[in-house]
Amino acid sequence: MAFIITFLGKGGTGRTTIAIAAAKQLSSLGQRVLLVGQDSGPALSILLGVSLGGEPQNIEPNFQAVQLETTGLLERGWEEVKQLEAQYLRSPTLKNVYGQELSVLPGMDSALALNSLREYDQSRKYDVIIYDGNSSQDTLRMLGMPEILSWYFRRFRQVIADSDVGKALSPFIQPITSTILNVSWSADELAQQPTNQATQLLEQGKSTVADPNRMASYLVTSSDPAAIATAKYCWGGAQQVGLTVAGVLLNQSSATEALAADFAPLPVSALPTKSSADDWQSLKSGLPDLQQATKAPRPITIDIAARQVRLFLPGFTKKQVKLTQYGPEVTVEAGDQRRNILLPPPLSGQSVKGAKFQDQYLIVSF
């Protein structure tokens, strides 16, 4: 499996340039690197000096790059959907709808990009995958998809099963499925089987995002106050999706004590300015070891003995954080993102007794 790296920060701070420098640095060390660009514009191709397409192509020894083409990914994904439908339905209905006809709806590009990252990861062709997204917020929403979708699956499947409609239809599920589908399922099997594969994929996605040995992000900023504020906001957003932030890359600026204090306890690395368009060596040499993310603060810690859940939420104030509880889950809203925390059995069903915001941590007691 590959180690996945992404960079977060305000537009114009040099995220794409640093992504390329990181790919060059790691590939020069013998790592097999794939740089995945989401932006369909020409910037990445110009910086690399090649015309990228929808398939990985060689840039340098051990270094390949690809520019995701959403329409092509949609066509390929649609064919997979039709194959899945044909597997289950006796009379498929989507066979006359073609991928070339489909337009890209908002959010599709992120979902398709996430699936592409999964496929590249599972190909085992790469040691490191570097993802350069359209924007930091798009990247965070994309990486939060597995957790969000798993919550929808879990929540609404149970809601339907417990509803009067679900109970009324339950006796008819098996004869209906045997007539319409290629299989015969009971109500419980219907609730489980079609979503088993999807649930497994979502769980794999959640575990990958939350594992600092598998994925990490770095904040990119300059000395500009707006860039610093955006980086701090991205830091808090990354914690909400469970993504480890391993450090700060200060581009074209000198480190100061005040800036180091703003991002403590993260290490801050000041990067040199490129002397020319082809000068990658100075930038490569200024990068830290990007695969050492395990020392970063964990986004969430559950202490069963102390009956506490601790969430690291830098970049947010107490007024920006909202906590609610529904049954065995606690929902934390910070900024424009929500995180649903499924409590372990010893804490499940226990009411929240208190919550406080202290030293950038939200501490919830049960």
pLDDT digits (tens, 9 = 90+) for 293-331: 887 888 888 999 999 999 998 888 888 888 988 878 889
C-alpha dist (Å) from residue 158 to 47, 202, 281:
50, 18, 55
Which of 172, 191, 206 terminates a domain? The answer is 206
Number of domains in the chain: 2
Please list the helix, strand and coil fractions of the chain in percent, rounded to the nearest 5, in that order: 45, 25, 35
- Position 193 pLDDT exceeds 60: no
Distance separating alpha carbons of residues 332 and 352, to the nearest angstrom: 12
Q: Which of 10, 11, 13, 55 is nearest to 34 (CA)?
A: 55
Residue 183 pLDDT: 58
Q: How confident is the model at residue 171 (pLDDT cuts 50, 70, 90)?
A: low
Q: What's at 110, amino acid-wise?
A: S
Helices (H), the chain: 15-28, 43-48, 70-88, 108-122, 136-162, 164-169, 173-180, 187-210, 225-240, 257-262, 281-286
Residue 167 lies in a domain: yes
- 97 part of a folded domain: no
Read off the pLDDT of residues 208-252 as tens digits, 9 standing for 90 and up.
999 999 999 999 999 999 999 999 999 999 999 999 999 999 998
Is the bond into 265 cis (omega within 30 degrees of 0)?
A: yes
Task: Using the predicted structure, report yes or no on whether residue 43 has a pLDDT greater than 80.
Answer: yes
In a domain, 69, yes or no: no
> Is residue 13 situated within a structural domain?
no
- Residue 259 CA to residue 244 CA, distance in Å, equals 20
Q: What local confidence, expressed as pLDDT, does residue 78 receive?
A: 77
Those residues whose C-beta lies under 8 Å from the C-beta of residue 203, and which sit 6 or more positions away, are 146, 150
Q: Are 67 and 82 in contact (CB under 8 A)?
A: no
Residue 249 lies in a domain: no
Q: Give first-to-last CA distance, the chain, whole Å.
A: 37
Q: Using an 8 Å Cβ cutoff, are 48 and 132 in contact?
A: no
Domain that holds residue 350: 300-365
Q: Confirm whether 331 is domain-assigned.
A: yes
pTM of the model: 0.85
